[in-house]
Amino acid sequence: MHGRLKVKTTAEKEREKRIEKEEKCKHFKAGLDKAFQMREKGDNQNALSLTAPLLMTNPDVYTLWNYRREIILEFKSQVQCKLETETVETSKNNSENDVKPKDDNSNDLSDDMNKSKSDETQNEFEILCENELELTSSCLLKNPKSYCVWHHRAWVLQTMEKPNFKREIMLCNQFLEMDERNFHCWDYRRFIHDFAKLDINEELQYTLRKIEQNFSNFSSWYYRSSLFTEAHIRGVLNFCDHWEKEYNLVENAVFTDPNDQSPWFYHKWLLATNHGENIISFAESIESNEISLQKVIYDKQNRVLITVFDKSTINCPYDVIDIEFENEVKSPSPQWFSALNDYSRIWHLTFPFQKPFQSITLKCTNKELPYEIRDSKLLFPVDFTADTLVHSFKDNDLLNDSFERKSLKKDQILNLRCLRDMEPDNKWVNLALASIDNLDNLKDLINLDPIRRNYYNDQKSKEMCINFIKTMDKCSPIGVMKSRGLTCLYFGDALIHLSFLDLSQNGLQKLSVAFNELILLETFILDENQITNISEGFRLPMLKVISLQNNRLNSKSLSTLNKCSNLRTVYIFGNEIGENNEQKIPFEVVQEEISVQDLQLTYGSNKIIQYL
């Protein structure tokens, strides 16, 4: 019922309309019933002409198309049968001719006759298919967005002997002239392009024509990006040679109408390909079926082992652990805990024994893993003097994915700046500049585009987290990210080694499950945020102290902290939490104010962290 305006009419008109509708409806229903009856009886005569007008009225009745396909296939097999018998007859005639004294003329004649006869049979089938194509064209004119009709047309084309691909492309041109965003038609066009193995350059030309006709045609820009990717991968062209020209095209488009988002998406894509150089790695990255270990952390004090992978799984990929003591090897069945809920990238376990050991071997014997594991067996020495040992295998890839900071030539950047000077309130140019030039633009974007303020705030937080991780002292167990306007935490897995984290004076609104990645955290300071609730799944296994002073929590909030099983003290000064809390809480709730300095003095950590 898309896009049908409700029109108010008089009672009389309404009645007339209703009667007319009911009449139509009855008629349609009778036709449909008849078609279904015929199909059941196998009485297919006239079925094509009976169902055609029904489909013209309602092209989405998929069963009627199925019925037609059955009839067409039946006809096709009859035709094939006929052709086969004719071929047999021909060869029979030929062999008879072989025996007979040779009469060149008569032989030629009978060959021709046979040929024209089989052509005729073949023609009958092609005519049937042609009619079918015509019916689909008429239906499409009525409803150009019917899945069934486009599929039927593709089916007919694949069933025909000699489909006319040129005509199909013309049909697409015609329908895209009527609606340049009709994705059904674009998909059909791609089907024809692949099926007929048409020239990719012609399609590139077509998208260029469509774009030049109207810059505001995202479908064309999109198709162009995917054609270039395909052509580059297939070696038809080197996209690096085309990048500059494409950039000029899109630059021209954004200067023509800076408020039109379609070319800006293409602009963003061009930047992401990094002058064309990244086009393949960019495409391959999503195809990767491999899971790999990024980091192993062993905390001696708590006897906690943590594994961090690049992908989530429902069980820890390493299902066997060998622990090497001085003179024996034990293989206890590992009790992994997920950092998040069902699926997690981070798994941790606590060893039950006190005895020191030399090494740990992790093995993956699980055959049902949804990914291929890079290392099915890994040995880690844990014989060390520090408190926490970190084995890092792969730097967090995600750090390269900062606000997608990309490079452009000087004059290209100058042009963008010039555009912003002309159109200071245009969000798109500010967004583009934020990814190239200066993150401060994100601040302006919150004012220019307030409905997406939470997105911009989170992206700013992401940058803050990246900067923090890049510059932090990796050997310190204490992390301080105060007053940086954080609204969320990115890359928590880079902070797993921390036992003390101060996030006070930020813009956090809730204690999200994303914080669960901080497995070794013992003291968490969140004073002066705007936290209104603590997520049901929030859980930090080592957490002993949490300070939530001056937030917006209410009396119900505290019970969700119960899942932190080692929690001893909660500071809650400056929230709307009443004194008389009836819920049973296994930790001490401190109402008095305490300064961050005092918290740090009391709970600061001096753990030694060592990297391998």
Partner 1 sequence: MLTKDVEIKDEYPKEFLLEKHAQYLANYAKNKDGYEQITLEYLRMSGIYWGLTAMDLIDRTSLLGHKSEILELIKQCQHECGGISSSVGHDPHILHTLSAIQILTIYDAINDNVIDLNKVVTYIKSLQQKDGSFFGDKWGEIDVRFSFCAIASLSLLNRLHEIDINSAISFVMKCNNLIDGGFGSRPGSESHAGLVYCALGALSLTGQLDRINADLLGWWLCERQLPSGGLNGRPEKLPDLCYSWWVLASLQILGRLHWIDRNKLMRFITACQDEESGGFSDRPGNLVDPFHTLFGIAGISLLIHEYGDSYDSEATAVQMTKLKSCVKLINPVLCMPQCLIDKLNIKMQLLKL
Residues 511-530 that bind partner 1 (CB under 8 A): 512-514, 530
Report, in Å, the least distance between residue 223 CB and partner 1. Answer: 7
- Tell which residue, 445, 561, 547, 538, has the closest CA to residue 504: 547
Report, in Å, the least distance between residue 230 CB and partner 1. Answer: 8
Binding to partner 1 (CB under 8 A) within 415-474 occurs at 450-455, 458-459, 462
Q: Which of 131, 138, 216, 562 binds partner 1 (CB under 8 A)?
A: 216
Residues in the chain: 612
Burial of 374 per CB tally in 10 Å (0-12, 13-18, 19+): middle
Contacts of 420 (CB under 8 A, 6+ apart): 426, 429, 430, 433
Alpha-carbon dihedral angle through residues 413, 414, 417, 423, given to the nearest 10 degrees: -120
Closer residue to partner 1 (CB): 57 or 392: 57
Binding to partner 1 (CB under 8 A) within 530-559 occurs at 530, 532-533, 535, 552
- Kindly state whether residue 77 participates in binding partner 1, applying the rule CB under 8 A: no
Report, in Å, the least distance between residue 457 CB and partner 1. Answer: 10
Contacts of 499 (CB under 8 A, 6+ apart): 477, 478, 520, 521, 522, 523, 542, 605, 607
Report, in Å, the least distance between residue 543 CB and partner 1. Answer: 18
The 10 Å CB-count burial string (b at 16+, else e) for 116-138 is eebeebbeebeebbeebbebbee
Segment lying near partner 1 (by CB under 8 A), choices 26-34, 239-247, 386-394, 588-596:
26-34
- Kindly state whether residue 155 participates in binding partner 1, applying the rule CB under 8 A: yes
Closer residue to partner 1 (CB): 323 or 577: 577
Residues near partner 1 (CB under 8 A), total: 91
Q: Which of 43, 401, 425, 598 binds partner 1 (CB under 8 A)?
A: 401
Report, in Å, the least distance between residue 184 CB and partner 1. Answer: 9
Report, in Å, the least distance between residue 40 CB and partner 1. Answer: 9
- Kindly state whether residue 272 participates in binding partner 1, applying the rule CB under 8 A: yes
Contact yes or no for 524/543 (Cβ under 8 A) = yes
Report, in Å, the least distance between residue 509 CB and partner 1. Answer: 5
Q: Which of 199, 202, 257, 277 binds partner 1 (CB under 8 A)?
A: 257
Binding to partner 1 (CB under 8 A) within 280-299 occurs at 282-283, 286-289
Rounded Cα–Cα distance for residues 598 and 604 (Å): 9
From residue 165 to residue 204, the character string flagging contacts with partner 1 as x (rule: CB under 8 A) and all else as - is ----------------x-x--xx--x---x----------
Closer residue to partner 1 (CB): 291 or 609: 291
Report, in Å, the least distance between residue 108 CB and partner 1. Answer: 43
Q: How far is CA 439 from the centre of its chain?
A: 26
Closer residue to partner 1 (CB): 21 or 330: 21
- Kindly state whether residue 60 participates in binding partner 1, applying the rule CB under 8 A: yes
- Kindly state whether residue 233 participates in binding partner 1, applying the rule CB under 8 A: no
Closer residue to partner 1 (CB): 488 or 543: 488
Rounded Cα–Cα distance for residues 508 and 528 (Å): 9
- Return the ∠ at Cα 556 (arms to 552 and 562), rounded to 5°: 105
Q: Which of 9, 14, 16, 36 binds partner 1 (CB under 8 A)?
A: 36
Beta-strand runs (E) in 262-328: 290-291, 293-299, 304-313, 320-324
Q: Which of 3, 101, 235, 352 binds partner 1 (CB under 8 A)?
A: 3
Report, in Å, the least distance between residue 220 CB and partner 1. Answer: 10
Report, in Å, the least distance between residue 92 CB and partner 1. Answer: 38
Binding to partner 1 (CB under 8 A) within 581-610 occurs at none
Neighbours of 512 (CB within 10 A): 17
- Tell which residue, 503, 506, 510, has the closest CA to residue 485: 506
Binding to partner 1 (CB under 8 A) within 331-390 occurs at 340-343, 345, 370
- Kindly state whether residue 66 participates in binding partner 1, applying the rule CB under 8 A: yes
Contact yes or no for 566/588 (Cβ under 8 A) = no
Neighbours of 218 (CB within 10 A): 17
- Kindly state whether residue 485 participates in binding partner 1, applying the rule CB under 8 A: no
Q: Which of 223, 524, 587, 603 binds partner 1 (CB under 8 A)?
A: 223
Q: Which of 275, 311, 406, 482 binds partner 1 (CB under 8 A)?
A: 311
Segment lying near partner 1 (by CB under 8 A), choices 125-133, 244-252, 510-518, 565-573:
510-518
- Kindly state whether residue 43 participates in binding partner 1, applying the rule CB under 8 A: no
For residue 175, give both structure tokens. Answer: 């329908």
Alpha-carbon dihedral angle through residues 59, 64, 67, 68, given to the nearest 10 degrees: -30
The 10 Å CB-count burial string (b at 16+, else e) for 355-364 is eebeebbbbb
Rounded Cα–Cα distance for residues 117 and 119 (Å): 5
Closer residue to partner 1 (CB): 549 or 551: 551
Report, in Å, the least distance between residue 357 CB and partner 1. Answer: 32
Binding to partner 1 (CB under 8 A) within 78-117 occurs at none
Taking the alpha carbons of 299, 345, 466, 273 in that order, is the dihedral positive or negative?
A: positive
Rounded Cα–Cα distance for residues 522 and 566 (Å): 9
Using the structure block, give the residue that is written with the tokens 């409803």. 143
Beta-strand runs (E) in 481-534: 500-502, 510-511, 523-525, 533-534
Report, in Å, the least distance between residue 469 CB and partner 1. Answer: 16
